[in-house]
Amino acid sequence: MLRLLQTIVFLAVCCCNGLTGGTKYTPDWKSLDSRPLPSWYDESKIGIFIHWGVFSVPSYANEWFWYDWKTAKNPAVINFMKNNYPPDFTYADFAPKFTAEFYNADEWANIFSASGAKYVVLVTKHHEGFTNWPSKVSWNWNSMDVGPKRDLVGELAKAVKKKQGMHFGTYHSLFEFYHPLYLQDKANGYRTQDFVRDKTMPELYELVNNYEPEVIWSDGDWEAPDTYWNSTEFLTWLYNESPVKDTVLVNDRWGSNTRCVHGGFWNCNDKYNPGVLQKHKWENAMTLDKRSWGYRRTAHLSDILTMDELVETIASTVSCGGNVLVNIGPTHDGRVVPIFEERLRQMGQWLGVNGEAIYSTLPWTHQNDTITAGVWYTSKKTANGTEVYAIVLDWPRNNKLTLGSPDATSDTVVYLLGYSGKLSWVHGAQSGVIIQIPEIPYNKMPCQWAWVFKFSNLK
């Protein structure tokens, strides 16, 4: 009986200290990098990125407008300001014009849900330093004090979380172009950390505690190492004690020494898409506007990705083990412009037919076909074996598709996703298969962009 009581007391102490509640991480990269990624992220594959801030007011050049104007001295930006604003106009004068009067978070969430995306990452603070929530450490430079007079982050977090199967995330820039505390730390060779202590780290804790995001997408890290930013201390708290400790993920932008080396999933660089299988989980953060992440009033139709280009990006990324984060830039008054909404809804239409080849899939033995170009493979484990999906970007000539990678057996069955008719196939001359596709009326075609052929019972 005494031994039983001792055991009960020991277990009670362990529970109080969290010793039986899972791994406790320590503030070093070896420990933090050992944390498994929550499974929902890899299963999701598709996310939406939203670049929105004071830079959406000039909506000219890109989201680095302030820097391009004052530091890079971009002639086009300088002329834009000279031709349209008085000489004493400052960047801060744009903030009252960031009005968001047409912002409806539920409408945005409906568009994102229709797109087939499973998570949403909102820019809560870009390098300009303006916070899209009422931060206690960003006095008079936040969306409640000036401009919208609203909690933009809170509204979208609530709307997204109401959607079944969708996850909410936050982008946050560690540094700010012109914050005096940051500039002083920089002048001191990053031997002081006043900006980290009084501004950027308090913001991260606010975001996590107030909105419980399941993705923390860090940026603005490249000028100083992780030790300046106190990154490992924050991540230790995030993984051990935060309200999202069991479901949250982070990227790899936590210091000038961490990209493609440390963190949860890796972004490495903007629009990172290596085209070959990666050993570590990664994400391709890309944007529908080829020239900017924020909204541009001067964008031309040719600057916007076509659906063919978008589907190719999805296929090439997922085939190589990555997720795709598709960026849009809303307007200063809170609208998702029609061309972006159309692309997102078209993506949802495509995924509605072909999502089986995207969501919860794994990279296959081959990423590209060995004979036919423009073919990307994914796979999925089932109770009966492995299903293989060939994402074919161009419709085969003469309705005959030759693939070199699949090794078929007499039991192999080939399907075209979204089409109920039967497909016949024969072995290739030396390897692979030749699929004969019947004539399909235009109004019976399963989709308009990229077609997916599913294989069961391959060798």
Q: What is the pLDDT of residues 145-200, one digit of tens each?
A: 999 999 999 999 999 999 999 999 999 999 999 999 999 999 999 999 999 999 99
Residues 6+ apart with CB under 8 A from 183: none
Contact (CB, 8 A) for 300 and 260: no
**Based on the domain organization, do 132 and 277 belong to the same domain?**
yes
**Based on the domain organization, do 351 and 371 belong to the same domain?**
no
- What per-residue confidence (pLDDT) applies to 19? 34
**Based on the domain organization, do 338 and 448 belong to the same domain?**
no
The helix/strand/coil state of 68 is helix
- What per-residue confidence (pLDDT) applies to 448? 95
Domain with residue 429: its CATH number is: 2.60.40.1180
**Based on the domain organization, do 79 and 195 belong to the same domain?**
yes
Alpha helix stretches (DSSP H) within 303-357: 307-319, 338-354
Cα–Cα dist 6/206, whole Å? 41
Predicted TM-score (pTM) of this structure: 0.94
Q: Please, what sign has the CA dihedral across residues 185, 137, 52, 81?
A: negative
Give the count of beta carbons closer than 10 Å to the beta carbon of residue 24. Answer: 13
- Strand pairing partners for 304? 289
The helix/strand/coil state of 82 is helix
Distances (CA, A) of 196 to 209, 234, 266, 369: 18, 11, 23, 49
If residue 204 lies in a helix (H) or strand (E), which one and from where to where? helix 201-211
Closest-CA residue to 276 (of 324, 321, 323): 321
Distances (CA, A) of 167 to 118, 248, 251, 333, 439: 6, 10, 15, 25, 41
Its domain, for residue 204, covers 29-357
Q: Which of 328, 357, 386 is the last residue of a domain?
A: 357
Cα–Cα dist 335/63, whole Å? 17
Q: How many Cα neighbours within 13 Å face the side chain of 176?
A: 22
Quick one: average pLDDT of 330-349?
98
Contact (CB, 8 A) for 123 and 50: yes
- What per-residue confidence (pLDDT) applies to 421? 86
Tell me the two tokens of residue 52.
Answer: 């929105």
- Strand pairing partners for 249? 215
**Based on the domain organization, do 288 and 399 belong to the same domain?**
no
Closest-CA residue to 375 (of 437, 439, 312, 305): 312
Tell me the two tokens of residue 390.
Answer: 């060939």
Confidence of residue 16 (pLDDT cuts 50, 70, 90): very low
Cα dihedral: 124, 126, 130, 136 (round 10): 50
Number of structural domains (the chain) is 2
Cα–Cα dist 364/323, whole Å? 15
**Alpha carbon 438 to chain centroid distance?**
38
Contact (CB, 8 A) for 53 and 330: no
Contact (CB, 8 A) for 259 and 270: no
pLDDT tens by residue, 403-432? 999 999 999 999 999 999 889 999 998 889
If residue 75 lies in a helix (H) or strand (E), which one and from where to where? helix 75-84
Cα–Cα dist 350/324, whole Å? 15
Domain with residue 162: its CATH number is: 3.20.20.80
End-to-end Cα separation, the chain, in angstroms: 59
**Based on the domain organization, do 140 and 45 belong to the same domain?**
yes
Give yes or no for residue 281 having a pLDDT over 80. yes
Domain for residue 100, yes or no? yes
- What per-residue confidence (pLDDT) applies to 37? 98
Confidence of residue 270 (pLDDT cuts 50, 70, 90): very high
Closest-CA residue to 77 (of 327, 288, 305, 296): 296
Q: Which of 317, 332, 357 is the last residue of a domain?
A: 357
Q: Please, what sign has the CA dihedral across residues 101, 104, 108, 111?
A: negative
Q: Which of 326, 357, 388 is the last residue of a domain?
A: 357
- What per-residue confidence (pLDDT) applies to 422? 85
Q: Mean pLDDT over all residues of the chain?
A: 95
Domain for residue 2, yes or no? no
**Based on the domain organization, do 370 and 237 belong to the same domain?**
no
Closest-CA residue to 202 (of 279, 129, 137, 257): 137
pLDDT tens by residue, 25-79? 999 999 999 999 999 999 999 999 999 999 999 999 999 999 999 999 999 999 9
Cα–Cα dist 299/287, whole Å? 13
